[in-house]
Structure formats: C-alpha cells, structure tokens
Structure 1
Amino acid sequence: MKKTTVVLAVALAAGTTMVQAKELEVYGKINVSAQYSDEGEGSFTELKSNASRFGLKGDYALEDGLTVVYQLEWEVDPSDEANEKNIKSRNQYLGLAGAFGEVRLGRHDTALKMSQGKIDLFSDYEGDIKVLWKGENRTSNSVSYFSPSFSGFSAQVTYIAEDDPEAEDGISAALLYGDENLKDSTVYAAVAYDADVAGYDTVRASAQVKVSGFKLGAMYQTQEATDTGLERDGYLLSVAYPVGKFELKGQYQAMEDDNGFSAGADYKLGKNTKLFAWYSSFDFDTALDKDYLAVGLEHKF
C-alpha cells in the first residue's frame, strides 16, 4: 500500500511538472556562414555567425482572464573566440496579456522595426536594411503595447524612457494589416513612425503581397536626424520565389545616393534546417564600396 502511494505521488508530481513544462519553450537557431568580404581596403575570408541565438519564452494563465508572458533571448557567436562579447542581450521582457491586448516591459524591438514584417529577405546578413536605413532599434527601458486584431488591423506602440535628464523620451508606433507570414492572408501592409528614437524621426511604409507563388515586397522610408535636421529618403524592393526545395530571392535598397543589392538562394534540407548562399554589393556616395559572398548552414530548434 505504501509503495502504491509513493508511486502515485511520484506520477502526480511528474504530471504536474510536465504540465508546467509545456508553458516554457526553449528555442533558438544557429546560423553560420563562410564568407568572402571586400570592404574597400582589400579582400579577406571569415567565418561569421549571423545573429545565432537562443532563448526562453512562455506564458502562465492568471485569474480574471489575464496571462503573464515572458521572454529572455540572447545572441551568441559560435564562430568567434569566447569572451564577454560572445553573448549579447536581445528581446527580454515580462508582460501581461488579456482582452485588451498585450503589454511588455523590458528590452524590445520597436514598433517601427517590427513593422517591416518579412519584407527584408536578407535580415541578419550583410544585406540587412540597417546598413543604409535608420530605425532598426531594439530599445531598453521600454514599454510595448500590442492591440488585438480588428478585421485584420492591429496596432503597436513602444514608449522608450531615456533614463537621462538631458534626453527626450521616444515613441515608436505602427498600424498594421494582414499576416506578415502571408499564410492567413495574401497581403501585409504597415505604416510606422518613430519620434526621437535613437536620434531620429522616421516614417516607414511597408507592403508585401503573394501572387502566383511570388512574394513581392516594397518599403519606403524618410528619416531626419533630430540634432542636425538632415533629412534623407529611400526605398526597398524585394522578391522571393520557391522552386522545389529552393527559394530564390533578390533585393534592392537605396537611401539617397547610397544603394545596394543582394541575390541569393535557400535550399531546404528539413523542416528546421537549410543551406543558403548569397551575394551583396553596396555602392556608397561618400564611403568605400563593399562586396560580400557567403555560403552557410542554418538550423532552428
């Protein structure tokens, strides 16, 4: 009888642990490439980690229809030497979700940055839009709000406390329509605005459509430095098309007289694993031109 009681107690404890474990997800991806780089002063080869990361995230049901949500994510560099710079904080927050939407407190991508959806086909690589554009900010001391969806429309707002008596607090806001993954809808669109975020006022309009298998994306941005008043405009065009296990993709981006293009292909080895190759080239008006060629492997877990 005692043995039965002990076994039952252990089973119940294990069951409780399993239920709790479902609320916590461990995830990540490792993306490493062999890269040829020419940044205007001679070429060289290198092994690069492209925003490899790992993290924990989950939620827990509370009373009154509320849910606590959380995420702790770090970027790691498996291609470089081990030191204090090998691990870098990414989105890390604690929040509450309910019928009102979701509020997150901590470090988070701004509403403007998130509004790009999946239009930047070379995000985290050398062809990332942050090379030419401002606005790709992940801010600390921030409060982020995500509204519920109404007929496909939703809104995001990020408030950034500058934590400095000499600085101004920042606001980033976005209005979005559709599904950024183009699975629940064939159209995604967003308009976003930064006010005094990382030294810039920025307006960004984004759109992506799925037509006959093609994913066609476009973005327009105007940005103004808050200290000098210098204003610049730019645009981006991207296209992706699947061919069997391949996905072919290309992208062109400009900001005034600076421009760059990227072309590449992904080959799916499995549900969470792919091979990839890409080439990126940048032509700068007042700086040295840059060219990159890479072949790599990515695995998500």
Structure 2
Amino acid sequence: MKKLLTLAVAAACAAPLVASANPVVYGRVNVNLVHQDYDYEVPFGTWDGGDAEAWNVENNASRVGVKGSEDLGNGLAAVYQFEFGVDASDSGGLSGRLAYAGITGGFGTFAMGRQWTPYYGSVDKIDIMQVGGMNDAYLGLTRVGNAVAYVTPNFNGLSGKLALVIDNGGAEDVGEDFADWWNVSVDYDNGPLSVGASYLAAQGDVDGALWGLAAKYNFGMFALIGQFEQADEDYIAAARPGNFGGTAVEGDTTSWALGGEVYLGNNTLRATYGSVDSDENDGSTWTLGAEHNFSKRTRVFVEYEDSELNRVKHTAFSTSDYHDIEGQRFGVGIRHDF
C-alpha cells in the first residue's frame, strides 16, 4: 500500500505514556512464507500476457521503537516516540516509521513529526490480516512526515483529530501553500462499537481529496466490520495507492469492504471482501485467515487471498498496455511482540 506519515499516534500513545516516564523499548517481528500466482491477460496492446508465480519469505511491518513521557507539572506531560521498520526477511536494515514529540494535557495532545494519519486510524478497520499485502481495497494513507497534529480529549468515547503536512518534499510536495495535505477525523469508540469518519485533501498544484467511513461492532464471540471510501482523480494521481499485486487504480475511485472475525478461545478466524471501482478499472478481493495465539505476545497464522482487477495499467510495463489481472496469495507466518 502507498503510505504517507502519521498523526493519530499521539492520541493512541498519550495516556499510557504519561503514566510511564521511563523510556519503553518495544518491537515486533512478523515474518511470512508466501506463495503468489498472478495471471495477466491483455485484451489489446503489444504484450502477450503471462503469469508470475513464486515463493518468498516476506517481512510484514516488523519494527523496533522507543517511547516515553516526562511529567512537566500542572497537568502537562511531554510525549515522544521513535519507531523504525526492520527488514526481518533479509538484510535487517532500518527504515523510518514514526518520529515525533508533543505536549499532552487536559486540552488534548499536540505533536510534530512523522506520525500516523488520522485517516488510517479512523477508516482502515478492515486491515485485520497478518500477511502483508492482503488489504487491497484500502485507498488511504498510513503515515506522513512533516506533520503537525492535534488530538482532542476523549468525551465519553467521542474524539477528533486534525493533521497538517507542511512543505513535505518528494512525490507528495504538491504546492507552496502553508500545508500540502490536511486531514481531519472524528471517532466514536465506546464499548463494543467503533465508528470513524475522515477527510483528507491536498492543496496547491494538486487539489485532490479522499473521504472514508468505517465501523466495527464486537458482539463478544464475533465482530463485524465495514468501510467505504471515495477519492477523486487528483488524489489518486498524487497519492498513487497500490492495489492488487503492484497495480494502481486510475481516475475517480470508490472502494468498499466488509469483514468479520470469530473468536474461539486462543484462536481467531477472519474473512474479508473488498471492491474497488474507478474510471479506468474495477476489481475485487477476498481473504480468509486463521490465527492461533500461544500467548499475548506470540501467534502463528495462515491466510489466503484471491483478487482480480480488470483493465489496468501495470507499473511494471508500458502504460499503454492495459490488461486484466487475476491472482492468489497464500501465506503462513509467525509474529512476536515485545
């Protein structure tokens, strides 16, 4: 998935960090053995089509980080977090995930740096699988750098988040305005019900926008999830969300997904179905998964995904070669948190 940087992290971390002034070292190792098989069919053009089949050991969001807080008195505390992605499947190299500092108090939390986007925390509730890449229906951004974020206090489960991405360089630098991207979200989390809505927009040379709505309800032995997103052509062109084995949607795009989890003691069964419909192509994906928890920190899992996307420009070939893609992915893995 195409990713930016973060902001809802401040809300998620502020409360536990205030209670712990000493730095906390934490991390995750998530390694998967994955088999994928993609078939390409060209309705017209110069390419004859083909398939891509392979086994691979893949890393999925392994990380190591440190977080903490300092009591400043008068109900105020400083909070901070550094988090680095670790390639657990190969070189073990590091990449930046989170890096921010902020102030929290009765007024809420202000933070600056690389953070989670409010959009991701509010809308991507369907991201429940453990094998990387099995979330093809999601259009939004995950983390962003150069971000200034504010998270409101929690009012009986209701909270809000606002983030600005200011003068972000590289592919996401879309203008010379004060903020290149801005993102606002509203969330309600109370007992078994979780609902989120978010709007994300670019301003400057590109004026694209994306909005999404998601909900999850936990019935005890099982939970149901749903989410809906709409993005205009300019947002899709600027953010380039990748889907379905490395492809990218084109034009105005609508995406929706449904999912569920069943809890059986130390085991969890999962299923999702998602659909993407854009001006240039459309597709669907469904996944099945089973997970066994040996403890609160160690789990193993097996997952399967089947997806198809019609009339797509694939990033690996000439943009004039439109073709259809059908693919399956199967993965087993282990995850340990510390």
Q: TM-score range by the shorter chain?
A: 0.7 to 0.9
1:134 to 139, 143, 151: 139
Structure 2 gap segments, 5+ residues each: 1-18, 40-50, 238-249, 313-324
1:113 to 91, 116, 120: 120
Assess if the C-alpha contact under 8 Å between 2:148 and 2:163 holds in 1.
yes
Assess if the C-alpha contact under 8 Å between 2:123 and 2:198 holds in 1.
no
1:255 paired residue number: 276
Where 1:113 maps in the other structure, the secondary structure is: helix
Could you list the per-position Cα deviations for residues 64-99 of structure 1 after superposition, in whole angstroms to 9, with x for gaps in the alignment? 3210000000111121135xxx21111210100011
Could you list the per-position Cα deviations for residues 17-62 of structure 1 after superposition, in whole angstroms to 9, with x for gaps in the alignment? xxx9852110011011111111332311110111100100011100
TM-score of the pair, normalised by structure 1: 0.84
Alignment pair present for 1:170 and 2:181: yes
1: CA distance, partners of 2:149 / 2:38: 37
Assess if the C-alpha contact under 8 Å between 1:120 and 1:238 holds in 2.
no
2:36 paired residue number: 37
* Structure 1 runs, 4 residues or longer, greater than 6 Å off: none
Question: Matched residue pairs, number?
Answer: 272
Alignment pair present for 1:201 and 2:206: no
2:27 paired residue number: 28
2: CA distance, partners of 1:159 / 1:216: 32
What is the CA-CA distance between 1:230 and the residue it aligns to? Answer: 3.2
2: CA distance, partners of 1:173 / 1:123: 28
Using CA pairs below 8 Å that are at least 6 residues apart, which structure has the higher relative contact order? 2
CA distance 1:241–1:66, shift in 2 (3 Å)? same
Give aligned-pair identity as a percent: 25
1:1-301 matched pairs, under 5 angstroms: 23-40=22-39, 41-81=51-91, 86-116=93-123, 118-122=125-129, 125-128=132-135, 131-163=136-168, 166-168=175-177, 169-179=180-190, 185-196=191-202, 200-226=208-234, 230-256=251-277, 257-287=282-312, 288-301=325-338
2: CA distance, partners of 1:201 / 1:21: 38
CA distance 1:250–1:162, shift in 2 (3 Å)? same
Structure 1 gap segments, 5+ residues each: 1-19, 180-184
Structure 2 residue identity aligned to 1:203 = W
Assess if the C-alpha contact under 8 Å between 2:130 and 2:301 holds in 1.
no
Where 2:120 maps in the other structure, the secondary structure is: helix
1: CA distance, partners of 2:143 / 2:33: 27
What RMSD, in angstroms, separates the aligned Cα atoms of the two structures?
A: 2.2
Could you list the per-position Cα deviations for residues 159-195 of structure 1 after superposition, in whole angstroms to 9, with x for gaps in the alignment? 111346835521101000015xxxxx01000110001
Where 1:226 maps in the other structure, the secondary structure is: helix
CA distance 1:74–1:273, shift in 2 (3 Å)? same
